[in-house]
Amino acid sequence: MNANISSRTLSALRSLKVQRLAPQIRTASYSSTTASPNVRIGLIGARGYTGRELIKLIDNHPKAELAYVSSRELNGKHCEHYTRSTVTYSNLSASDLPSITDVDCWVMALPNNVCKPFVDSLISSKPSSHPLILDLSADYRFTNEWQYGLPELYGNRQKLTAGSVRKVSNPGCYATGSQLGIAPLTLANLTEGIPTIFGVSGYSGAGTKPSPKNDPKNLSDNLIPYALTDHIHEREVSRQLGTQVGFIPHVGQFFQGISLTISIPLNKTMTGKEVADLYKEKYQGEGLVKVLEEGQIPEVRDIAGKHHVEIGGFKVHSGGKRVVVVATIDNLLKGAATQALQNINLALNLEEFAGIPLTTRN
């Protein structure tokens, strides 16, 4: 995109001390013939763990660069996780965004119920031609006006690449792992009753604001159940799958990663191998989903720092009509930042996994 910035924007950016130098291409990530990145991404609310991981991914993207990074708490500080050029944290307001004309995608990495003024400002300025907006919160996951960004399911990959998508709602971390762990059976009309999801997340899922759920001392030798009913991810998964699920979240003493043990009632007698084969067929060729063999149980320590989801277990109850599936996912990566970049790539007509280290392929 041509970097045309109004004089008003230049003045605002100078006062916000946003500095950008020419990108320095690193041979570890690019060939000598690769052109300068041509997709520019702005990040609003980059103080949290997810924002940090997304910055690292953009840093290694062959066709994208970090244009702006906004955080009230970090305003004026150097963005140390981005190394290709010098970017300084700014404190952009909602009213600043429409004047910035050199951004292809704005990522909202803000808590729930905070990003609406930024979104409204962008959309009202250019209702039909605003930059791509990707929201990491739950604010727009329950409206059909936004594209739900889980590419592996529901034909979403095709919808994201249709060329008309300008608003993408990134799924929740628990919700991503849960849907990938249940959908092959529901889509094949093989379930009966309510699937039950027992989830345990690392304490990074509780964010950076101090609380009992991210206090290592409080979590030592401990496991904390919370939001015992009506968790927002329970509603999200139920909405997307088209069937009610039960979800029981917990937080453990490890930092990142999620383990989901899912009990799924079946409407016919099946073997564990039959269930495993169904999942293998569904996710064949997917770069960010790995299906294990029947009886292999994925462990959370093996998924931390990885960009894919692992699904295994496939243990059928002796009666033959209930199967337990286990899924693991890194809540900060495929549960948030990696999936965000995957969605951005698709919506902006880039290679789906550009900038994402592929750690598995079926």
CB 334 within 8 A of CB 309: yes
At 328 the pLDDT is 98
96-111 pLDDT tens trace? 999 999 999 999 999 9
For residue 227, give the nearest of 148, 150, 299, 174 by alpha carbon: 174
Helix, strand, or coil here: 148? strand
Beta strands in 167-257 (DSSP E): 167-169, 196-201, 224-225, 246-251
Given the residues 79, 105, 115, 173, the one annotated as active site: 173
Written as one string, the DSSP assignment of 57-85 is HHHT-TTEEEEEEE-TTTTTSB-TT--SS
Does 173 qualify as catalytic in the annotation? yes
d(CA 149, CA 141): 9
Q: Are strands 322-329 and 309-316 parallel, antiparallel or unpaired?
A: antiparallel
180-225 pLDDT tens trace? 999 999 999 999 999 999 999 999 999 888 999 999 999 999 999 9
User: Hey, what domains does the chain have and what are their CATH numbers?
Assistant: 7-27+38-171+336-347 (3.40.50.720), 173-331 (3.30.360.10)
- Residue 251 one-letter amino acid: V
At 208 the pLDDT is 87
At 361 the pLDDT is 53
pTM above 0.85, yes or no: yes
Kindly give the residue spans of alpha helices, DSSP state H, lying in 100-200.
116-125, 156-160, 173-187
d(CA 108, CA 315): 39
Helix, strand, or coil here: 289? strand
CB 115 within 8 A of CB 108: yes
CB 108 within 8 A of CB 65: no
* Weakly modelled stretches of the chain, pLDDT under 50: 1-35
For residue 170, give the nearest of 100, 240, 71, 98 by alpha carbon: 240
Q: What phi, psi does 99 have (nearest 5°)?
A: -80, -15
